[in-house]
Every structure is written in structure tokens, then in C-alpha cells.
Structure 1
Amino acid sequence: MTTIIEPRVHDLGDGFLVRRAVPSIQARSVGPFVFVDHMGPVVFEGGRGMDVRPHPHIGLATVTFLWSGAINHRDTLGFEQVIRPGDVNWMTAGRGIAHSERTPAAERAAGHEAHGMQTWVALPKAHEETDPAFFHHPAATLPQQQREGVWLRVIAGRSYGEESPVKVFADTLNVAIDLAPGAELALDDHHVERALYILEGEAQLDGADVPARHLIVPDRGTRPKLRARSPVKAMLLGGEPLDGHRHLWWNFVSSSKDRIEQAKQDWLEGRFGRIEGDDEFIPLPQR
């Protein structure tokens, strides 16, 4: 039976809503994905934008993909990179990294729309303490397919006979889907766990209406057909199930509770390093 998950909605201010579909009661993870956030869409007036101050991560990789807008990434390794629609930012936190995400100056001054998704992939236990790293993949480097009103872009992993250049640590399914009205697509069934997030548009799965801004988890081994009744934007994600339980606390993911306690102390004592040009930070939550 197909499961439909309604995300929790967080208002970050200025009309910027983030919908969190994973983790939830129905799905703590989907494949290696332990965190699924839908950002926007939002139209920022001139002078306003996104400002996620420096904050730390361990034990995961963040994956950022945009349909519109721009985000300037800076981290403690010294990387600074603006991500634009169709690009992929993959940041491996491993044993520890901190980064900030802000609207670039030009877009902030002019006003702009922002719409995208950020997901977290839990690293396999053997790689939880790997060296932190950052990779940017321009839109033109991603494999894509266009046919009969269907546009597929493979963000990470393998799908539909294509393989993304993004380095992954386990079998991964991560595909951006854009459908024209009337277009149909059978969902990839070559991965153990899958979920489909509808960002916008009127869609059906095997003839039944599915709500926008929800996560749909089809049964394992099935190949349901997605059909667009209007222009549809969606993301298909999943892959190999996790190799054990993961603890999530704030921005930390680990198979060890003690490791998360150590990360808390490291952030309090400034051991994650400094981000050049961004001296603000998000304090450790008192909870």
C-alpha cells in the first residue's frame, strides 16, 4: 500500500517556508536519506533573502538542488560556491564541517524567487568519520533525458540507465523530474527503497490523485506510473537502506550517541573551524 506523508512546515520568516518530510513517524529514512526538506517557493523582495548562519555537521552529506534562485555556500574548508538552478552542491561532513548558506549579493539587491530541495544522506558506518569535503557539479555535467514531455536529471547515484558524477557512498537514487501536462513516467524500480516528493503541480500515481507538497512512498518492487495533469516538479529519491540505526540531533547524524555528545562540545568550544568572511554562528540549541 502506498504511504503518503504530509511534511511538517517551518516558517523561516519573510514568507520562506520549509517543509520537512523526513524524518517522520511514517519514514525515519528512505534509503540513505535521513532528512528531506522542500524550500519555498518564495519571492524575496529586494534587500531580503536567505540567511542560514554558520552551523556544524557530522556523519552525513548534504545535497542541495534548486529549481530557481541562488545560494552562496561557504565552509570551514575554505570553499565558496554559488549554486544555481540545475547545479548540485554535495558536502560530505564526515568527522566534521561547518558551513553557511546565504542569498548572493546581486540576487538579494534585485529580489528573486527561491525554490529547491535540500536532503541529508547518512554516511555508512565505515565512512562516518571520513575527511570532510565539498563538491560542486554544474547543471551541464549531470546526465539528463528529455522525451515526450519528460525531463529527468540524475542528481546523485544511478537511475534510468544514467549515472551522476557525484561521488556517493552507497547505492543512491536521486532524480529531479519535470513533467509537461499529460506526460507519464514509470518510477524506477531498481532500488530497494524509494519515495517521490511532489514539489508542485497536479499529479496522479497509477490513476489516483496524489497531493502536491507531500512525500509518496510506494510499495517495494512496484513500478507505479506518474502522470502529470498540469506542469509537475518532483524528486525521486531512495536507495540502499541504512546499515543500522542513526541518531539525529540538531545538525548531527551518527550511529553513536557519544559521538553526537562530542560534536556538541566541539561546537561549543569552537573546534569546527572558522568560515572566512562569515563570523556569525548559530548557537548550540539548549534542548
Structure 2
Amino acid sequence: MLDLVIEARKASIGPGMDVRRILPFRLRRMVGPFIFMDHAGPVDVPPSSATSMDVLPHPHIGLSTVSYLFGGQVTHRDSLGVQQVIRPGEVNWMTAGSGIAHSERFEDPAALAGGKLEMIQTWVALPEKDEEAAPSFKNYTSQELPIFTDTGVWMRLIAGNAFGLKSHVHTHSPMFYLHVILDQGTRFGLPTGHTERGIYIAKGSVEFSGRTYAAGQMLVFKKGVGPVIHVKENTTLMLLGGEPLGERFIWWNFVSSRKERIEQAKADWKEGRILLPPTDNLEFVPLPEDRSRPAGSPSPQALS
């Protein structure tokens, strides 16, 4: 029933901003349509260092980036002219499709005070028929996302459907994505009806089949009867999965079902054919030239 356990690896996306990288993993490139997952924070840096953590304008193709915050706030700007501050409990869902560039900046020093900033960022690969869709962006407030509570259980459905809940977040393939908080001693099962399912332990620990798993680990389960976990302490989980889309190639911030499309995206970024955000166009992340990087390994700047 338990397919494998993924240990988060440390990656740096800038001064003072280390993340735990969960996906992609050498033994598991994707879980359902999810092809990338980073857990950043809690970030504890002086407010004066906020600008050094900014993620400068950079490109994407063939995916949707999904930003979700536990604390703090981040300002998003993109090629469409969108400027959006995301706050805890909200979702920024940006579909890159044929190509988009965006930045993420930490413009409120107060949002960094006391280690407030903490976020989960994922990439959702697009079905082949949607890989060249027109870019789009949508912010969903916390009030727009379904919440369920029960004894010892609080959960917010970010996207897809699970446990009889359905999110209004627009997706391109069957999936589920949940933020779950469980009290110590609670028993909790994964949603059924999805081919691939994963539990990322953001805080706390869980027990499954006699073994204890801790923060920074992802448990990936095969399809079948829903496994039941036992929560050892107050715990925060991110549940995700869905239907597999087939093989995807990933290089830097580009995802595609075709290697040649990634080569085209490299050329497009290098030659300026992917537009910069109109309100954040004075600097950008250049195309990496490190050819020694293993194929399929995102660069340290690969933050959505």
C-alpha cells in the first residue's frame, strides 16, 4: 500500500531562503499531475534582508504554478500585467501554458518579522492538449475554498475533489490538493478514487503500519483502499495526487511532454520572446548555462 517515502532535500533559492524540495525525486518524478513541490520557511531573516530574497522575473511553460501560504505575504507580478499580493489561506494559480514570466517579491518587511513567512509551492503539469494554452492567472481567496471540520480535524480543499468536497479552482486534469491540520491522537484516512496519492508532513509526525514519519517526509501510496494514519502530535499535512499524465521532461522552470519544446523555450527566453512583467521588467533571471546539471533537475532558482 505504501509505495515509497520521499525525504525532502535542502535547496537554496537565494540569500536567507532555503527550501525543502520534495518533488521531483529520482525515484518518483510526479505524484498525479504534481511535478514539483517546495516547502519554504518558516523564514527567519532580518526585515532589512527582504529584497535579497526576491525571486526575479523568470519564465515557465507547460504547467500551472500553485502558491499557498501558511504565513507572511508575497507579491506576484507577471507578463499579463497582473499584480497580486497573496496572503495565508489564499491560492495563486498561474497557468503558464505556451509561456509566461513572473516574479515573486517580499515587499512587506513586517511579513518576515519573527519567522512569519512560510509557503508551499507546487507545479502541476498540464495535459498535452493544454500545454500550449494561453497563459492565465487567478487568485482565490480563503473564503472561496471549501473547509471541513470534525473532531480533531480541520482541512481546506485547495483544488480538485476529495472527501465529498469540490473546489472551484480551475484545473486541467483530475486531482486533489488539501491543507489538513490534525490534533494529536486523531486517525485520518486518505481520499479514495485517485490513482496516485501523497501525504507531505509539513509539521508534526504520523504513524503508519507501525512506523513513525516526521516533518519533511512525503508518503506516497498506491491506488487501493485508503490507508489510515495515526497522528502522534498536532500535525499539519499537505495531501495531493490525482491521475498520472504520462512522461514529462523538466529543465529549469520548463515542463513539457516533448524535449524539443523545452529547447524552444530556452531559445525563447534567451532571445526575449517571453515577455517580462510590465511592472517588473528591469531585471530578470538569465537562462542557466550550467550544462553539467543532470537532466530533469530544476536549478536553485526554480521557485514558482
TM-score (norm 1): 0.95
Q: Secondary structure at the match of 2:49?
A: coil
Q: Choose the corresponding residue for 2:158, options 135, 152, 155.
A: 155
When structure 1 is superposed on structure 2, of 274-283 and 67-76 the one drifting more is 274-283
Deviations 1:182-217 (A, max 9, x none): 222111122000111001112222443112101111
Letter in 1 for 2:259: K
Structure 2, gaps ≥5 residues long: 292-304
Q: Which residue of 1 aligns with 2:297?
A: none
Tell me if structure 1 keeps the 8 A contact 2:61–2:253: yes
Tell me if structure 2 keeps the 8 A contact 1:48–1:111: no
Q: Which residue of 1 aligns with 2:57?
A: 54
Cα offset, 1:18, TM superposition: 1.0
Q: Which residue of 1 aligns with 2:261?
A: 259
Q: Which residue of 1 aligns with 2:279?
A: 277
When structure 1 is superposed on structure 2, of 265-274 and 136-145 the one drifting more is 265-274
Cα offset, 1:129, TM superposition: 0.2
Alignment of 1:161-176 (within 5 A): 161-176=164-179
Tell me if structure 2 keeps the 8 A contact 1:82–1:104: no
Q: Which residue of 1 aligns with 2:22?
A: 21
Alignment of 1:138-287 (within 5 A): 138-242=141-245, 244-278=246-280, 279-286=282-289, 287=291
Q: Choose the corresponding residue for 2:70, options 56, 67, 75.
A: 67
When structure 1 is superposed on structure 2, of 224-233 and 119-128 the one drifting more is 224-233
Cα offset, 1:20, TM superposition: 1.4
Alpha-carbon distance in structure 1 between the residues aligned to 2:130 and 2:277: 24
1:30 aligns with 2:31: yes
Letter in 2 for 1:268: K
- 1:178–1:156 Cα change, 3 Å: same
Cα offset, 1:108, TM superposition: 5.8
Cα offset, 1:64, TM superposition: 0.8
Letter in 2 for 1:39: A
Deviations 1:5-54 (A, max 9, x none): 11221133554321111111221111001111111122232222331000
Cα offset, 1:276, TM superposition: 2.7
Tell me if structure 2 keeps the 8 A contact 1:156–1:168: yes
TM-score (norm 2): 0.90
Tell me if structure 2 keeps the 8 A contact 1:94–1:129: yes
1:41 aligns with 2:42: yes
Cα offset, 1:227, TM superposition: 2.3
1:130 aligns with 2:120: no
Alpha-carbon distance in structure 1 between the residues aligned to 2:166 and 2:267: 39
Alpha-carbon distance in structure 2 between the residues aligned to 1:182 and 1:18: 29
Alpha-carbon distance in structure 2 between the residues aligned to 1:211 and 1:108: 27
Letter in 1 for 2:69: L
Structure 1, gaps ≥5 residues long: none
Alpha-carbon distance in structure 1 between the residues aligned to 2:231 and 2:72: 24
Cα offset, 1:106, TM superposition: 4.7
Q: Secondary structure at the match of 1:12?
A: strand
Q: Percent identity?
A: 47
When structure 1 is superposed on structure 2, of 275-284 and 136-145 the one drifting more is 275-284
Letter in 1 for 2:26: I
1:86 aligns with 2:89: yes
Alpha-carbon distance in structure 1 between the residues aligned to 2:61 and 2:40: 22
Q: Which residue of 2 aligns with 1:6?
A: 7
Q: Which residue of 1 aligns with 2:299?
A: none
Tell me if structure 2 keeps the 8 A contact 1:21–1:215: yes
Tell me if structure 2 keeps the 8 A contact 1:58–1:97: yes
Alpha-carbon distance in structure 2 between the residues aligned to 1:30 and 1:110: 34
Letter in 2 for 1:252: F
When structure 1 is superposed on structure 2, of 80-89 and 271-280 the one drifting more is 271-280
Letter in 1 for 2:149: Q
Letter in 2 for 1:6: E
Q: Choose the corresponding residue for 1:76, options 79, 84, 95.
A: 79
Alpha-carbon distance in structure 1 between the residues aligned to 2:7 and 2:108: 34
Cα offset, 1:82, TM superposition: 0.8
Cα RMSD of the aligned pairs, angstroms, is 1.6
Query: How many pairs are equivalent?
Result: 286
1:119 aligns with 2:122: yes
